[in-house]
Amino acid sequence: MLITRQNMNDWNEFDLFNSFDKLGLEINKLFGLPFNGFRANPALEDEGLSTNLYTEGNDLIFRSSIPGVAPEQISVNVKDNVLTIDAERKSEKSDEAQSKYFRRERSQSRYHGTITLPEGAQVDKVTAEYKDGVLTVRVPRAEKPQPKQICVSCE
Amino acid sequence: MSNKNLEKNVNVTSSVAQNCDCSPAPKTDRVFRIPRADIYQNGDNVELELDMPGVSKENVQISLEGNVLTLTGRVGEIPSDWSLIHCESLQRDYQRAFELGSDVDLENIKATMNAGVLRVTLPKMATAKPRKIEVTA
């Protein structure tokens, strides 16, 4: 439901920016992806991670942008073949500084992302590294399992 | 520095990539991402904070031309044997320019880079700071 207002007499009240936020949410729902175009709504604090996925040989490599976080505030978990990344950006500023913002675009303070790992992922060999605000998670994968031949015996 | 001066800060040189094309930008035609920025007052200084994930300290370039402060961050290279499967974040360099007010002490601008966040400290000129004047008899 992108268009919620049908009555043209309501144009005076039409809130353009609110509509953009709604559009962003709708696009989020459609694709299940973080939509970074409009981040004006401070209520959207907990957004998806912006992640690129690479492969190197058999390994899967996830690179997520998590700027300004201490490494100990990032948690990477694998449970039942589901990889979960959580991080929180703690504000170091005092209350006084908080009240004197001239411009505030970096609204995001919590990061969360989950993904189901494919078959063959070696969950006990997952490694994670945080450098320059980017978390790199490497998931090794086993060689493709060969189909097991079963002899059919008959008497 | 008055708030009004800071409100004027504008993007002078940057253009943003519109589509999610994750291939490296050609060297001749540089397209930048605009990093998100916070601007806030901290005591007598004004702090600028920009998110530039993927940029190391060595790859930050800060230049001042007149009163225009330009911040550029080059993202680290992805190893050539990695192949991209899914892309949500552009592998593009960052650039953003700010027009500074006349109250900023241009000689004493400092910057630090930590965990992909660039923080630029803009001190006020001594003349712009509030002064207490003693009353003599």
Question: What residue segments make up the domains of chain A, in order of their start?
Answer: 1-44, 45-93+106-142
Q: Provide the percentage of residues in chain B whose pLDDT is more than 90.
A: 42
Instruction: Answer with the residue of higher pLDDT: B92 or B131.
Output: B92
Domain membership of residue B137 (yes or no) is no
Domain at B109, CATH number? 2.60.40.790
Pair of tokens at residue A51: 């992640």
B11 vs A52, higher pLDDT? A52
In angstroms, the separation between the Cα of residue B88 and the nearest Cα of chain A is: 5
Show the domain range for B89.
3-126
A29, two tokens: 């729902």
State the ipTM, two decimals: 0.73
Beta carbons of A54 and B89 less than 8 Å apart: no
pLDDT reported for residue B102: 87
For residues A140 and A59, is the Cβ–Cβ distance under 8 A?
A: yes
Could you tell me if residue B110 is inside a domain? yes
The answer to whether position B89 is within a domain reads yes
Which CATH number applies to A45-93+106-142?
2.60.40.790
Tens-place pLDDT, residues B59-98: 999 999 998 999 999 999 999 999 888 888 888 899 999 9
Intervals of chain A under pLDDT 70: 1-48, 92-99, 107-108, 145
**Residue B134 in domain:** no
Domain count within chain B: 1
| pLDDT at position B17 | 34
CB contact under 8 A, A133 and B79: no
Are A132 and B54 inside 8 Å of each other by CB?
yes
List, as one string, the DSSP characters of B43-109.
TTEEEEEEE-TTEEEEEEEEEEETTEEEEEEEEPPPPTT-EEEE-SS----EEEEEEPPTTB-GGG-
